[in-house]
Amino acid sequence: MIPLKSEKDLEMMRAAGQKLAKVIRTLRGYIEPGITTIEIDRIADSLIRQENAESAFLGYKGFPAHICTSVNEEVVHGIPSERRLGDSDIVSVDVGIKYQGYFSDAAITVGIGKVSPRAKKLIEVTKEALMAGIKQARANNRLSDISHAIQEYVEKNGFSVVREFVGHGIGRSLHEEPEIPNFGRPRTGLTLIQGMVLAIEPMVNTGSWECQILDNGWTAVTKDRLFSAHFEHTVAIGESGPEILTNYN
């Protein structure tokens, strides 16, 4: 069952999305050479509190931090640590919040100082792939139209999409149906209808799409240890097309 949102639900999810967007916008300003990922986590914690919201990730299946910070070859679910970021690193920051019973989820990847042209392109392509997927998030399209648009854009640009992790429905739970793969054939799967809210989140690898999980049981890394990037928005299927609820631009 895919929970459809009422207009009242959507109002709450817009509020949650705007709060999350503000957190990410502010947080982004702190991410520069010399910062550690645990410092980013602490700042995020404080910004989330200022919005009268709470972290959706802290304690989720035992996750030990407020946000995920995935550096370089880390794909998703990186655990904030004393690791200090410097020139040529990239970091994916995934933030989920709960506000008055409603969840919102978004992610960005940021280059630190001077990054390689390849890493810069990876970040750009991942961001654009998310936008290509969002464009397809409209009533009467099929779910896989989103998946296909993302995969096509990524592969056209010489990168690969992660298979092991997918986007998801979101609302009163962080993860609701449906699962949204970032790959697939167009015009298959369920038909999208107004009132669905989806967290669309391409994870894009420089090399092979294959991943491994580190011994901490959480952090996914690329098998070939090449860089990976991640962008995510919470998006409502509106009457006249997609509505990005977490617009942090």
Q: Is 24 in the site for Mg ion (CB under 5 A)?
A: no
Distance in Å, CB of 189 to Mg ion, minimum = 19
Number of residues binding to Mg ion, judged by CB under 5 A: 3
Of the candidates 101, 99, 111, 144, which has an alpha carbon nearest to the alpha carbon of residue 32? 111
Identity of the residue, 108 or 115, whose beta carbon is nearer to Mg ion in the bound complex: 108
Extract the tokens encoding 60: 């989720």
Q: Which helix (H) or strand (E) holds 11?
A: helix 7-28
Identity of the residue, 74 or 201, whose beta carbon is nearer to Mg ion in the bound complex: 201
Distance in Å, CB of 173 to Mg ion, minimum = 12
Site string for Mg ion, 77-106 (x = CB under 5 A): ----------------------------x-
CB 97 within 8 A of CB 55: yes
The CA–CA distances, whole Å, from 71 to 3, 15, 121, 208 equal: 34, 30, 16, 17
Identity of the residue, 41 or 201, whose beta carbon is nearer to Mg ion in the bound complex: 201
CB 31 within 8 A of CB 85: yes
Of the candidates 206, 202, 2, which has an alpha carbon nearest to the alpha carbon of residue 108? 202
Distance in Å, CB of 106 to Mg ion, minimum = 8
Identity of the residue, 110 or 235, whose beta carbon is nearer to Mg ion in the bound complex: 235
Distance in Å, CB of 233 to Mg ion, minimum = 10
* Rama region for 196: left / alpha / beta (φ>0; ψ in -120 to 50; rest): beta
Distance in Å, CB of 227 to Mg ion, minimum = 20
Q: b/e for 105-114, b at 16 or more Cβ within 10 A?
A: bbbbbbbbee
Identity of the residue, 105 or 176, whose beta carbon is nearer to Mg ion in the bound complex: 105
Interacting residues with Mg ion between 144 and 203 (CB under 5 A): 199, 201
Contact residues: Mg ion, CB under 5 A: 105, 199, 201
